[in-house]
């Protein structure tokens, strides 16, 4: 792509402190976008018998990441809070201007997450962050001013159709994909595009060497994903080259889980 049309656009990337989110923020910054890196502030310890599969990142580390991205800021918010979407937009608008692009990358994931261990609280935690918060952030984008054309890219998972062993996470991501299609239709008249990327197994530090070899054997293209693989797809869907694409879920997984 010679010109993605992203120079000077204001992009909000949730969950941008590390891994895929950080790669997405770097990719937009490389296109000249003004980027807001959202991160989770300090969080409470999990309930007894539960392990968080995500962690809050020290603010200093997020600031260090943003410092290397040109016109970038960091914003902290707990997306499980009912008023977080509006507050997040308020801060980004105050510091960078109206938001043009939202990337809903932040996610809640916990263990155990099986159907026989599911509780009201565990399911609520997953859906609040993985489905409700993206819906509210998309709503904020639709109601506020921005530079046309505006768009949203949601980050799902290639196993959203069926994710045994991760019931709350998988079903909340399936809801996110349904939200992508519905919001795309609702917002088409306003010229706002809504798409999603569904990553396969991506090495963000959680896979051992043994697991990497197992994953390679299960991926038709024979490699595990890197955060940059997902970031490149997100930038494409936000670019002018994708101007006639909306309501789609793009699987970026090397053929995994087809």
Is residue 1 included in any domain, yes or no?
no
Instruction: Determine the pLDDT at residue 44.
Output: 84
Is residue 5 included in any domain, yes or no?
no
Instruction: Determine the pLDDT at residue 135.
Output: 98
Instruction: Determine the pLDDT at residue 56.
Output: 78
Is residue 3 included in any domain, yes or no?
no
Residue 34 CA to residue 51 CA, distance in Å, equals 35
**Helix ranges restricted to H, 97-226:** 120-127, 133-143, 167-187, 209-218
Is residue 57 included in any domain, yes or no?
yes
Q: Which residues of the chain have pLDDT under 70?
A: 1
Residue 131 CA to residue 145 CA, distance in Å, equals 23
Is residue 123 included in any domain, yes or no?
yes
Q: Into how many domains does the chain fold?
A: 1
What is the domain range of residue 225? 10-252
For 180-209, write each residue's pLDDT tens digit. 999 999 999 999 999 999 999 999 888 889
Is residue 2 included in any domain, yes or no?
no
Residue 107 CA to residue 40 CA, distance in Å, equals 10
Q: What's the sign of the alpha-carbon dihedral 149, 176, 198, 107?
A: positive
The helix (run of H) or strand (run of E) holding residue 13 is: strand 10-13
Tokens for 42, please give them.
Answer: 């300090």
Instruction: Determine the pLDDT at residue 253.
Output: 94
Is residue 60 included in any domain, yes or no?
yes
| DSSP per position, 178-213 | HHHHHHHHHHGGGTEEEEEEEE-SB-SS---HHHHH
Residue 240 CA to residue 4 CA, distance in Å, equals 6
- Map tokens 């998972």 to a residue: 157
The helix (run of H) or strand (run of E) holding residue 252 is: strand 249-252
Is residue 207 included in any domain, yes or no?
yes
Q: What is the CATH number of the domain that holds 203?
A: 3.40.50.720
Among candidate residues 172, 222, 168, the one with its CA nearest the CA of residue 200: 222
Instruction: Determine the pLDDT at residue 148.
Output: 80
Instruction: Determine the pLDDT at residue 191.
Output: 96
Tokens for 169, please give them.
Answer: 């996470």
Residue 153 CA to residue 234 CA, distance in Å, equals 7
Catalytic residue numbers? Answer: 169
Instruction: Determine the pLDDT at residue 1.
Output: 65
């Amino acid at each position: 792509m010679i010109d993605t049309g992203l120079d000077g656009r204001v992009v909000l990337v949730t969950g941008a402190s590390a891994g895929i989110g950080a790669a997405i923020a770097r990719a937009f910054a490389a296109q000249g976008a003004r980027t807001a890196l959202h991160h989770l502030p300090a969080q409470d310890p999990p309930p007894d018998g539960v392990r968080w599969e995500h962690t809050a990142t020290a603010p200093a580390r997020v600031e260090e990441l943003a410092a290397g991205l040109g016109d970038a800021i960091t914003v902290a918010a707990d997306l499980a809070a009912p008023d977080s979407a509006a507050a997040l937009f308020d801060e980004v608008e105050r510091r960078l201007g109206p938001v043009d692009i939202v990337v809903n990358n932040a996610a809640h994931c916990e263990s155990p997450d099986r159907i026989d261990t599911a509780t009201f609280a565990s399911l609520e935690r997953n859906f609040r962050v993985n489905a409700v918060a993206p819906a509210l952030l998309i709503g904020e984008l639709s109601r506020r001013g921005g530079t046309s054309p505006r768009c949203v890219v949601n980050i799902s998972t290639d196993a959203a159709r069926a994710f045994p062993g991760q019931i709350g996470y998988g079903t909340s991501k399936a809801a996110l994909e349904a939200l992508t299609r519905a919001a795309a239709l609702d917002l088409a008249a306003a010229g706002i595009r809504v798409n999603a990327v569904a990553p396969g197994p991506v090495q963000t530090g959680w896979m051992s060497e043994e697991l990497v070899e197992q994953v390679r054997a299960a991926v038709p293209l024979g490699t595990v994903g890197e955060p940059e693989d997902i970031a490149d797809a997100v930038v494409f869907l936000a670019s002018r080259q994708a101007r006639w694409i909306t309501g789609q879920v793009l699987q970026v997984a090397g053929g995994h889980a087809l």
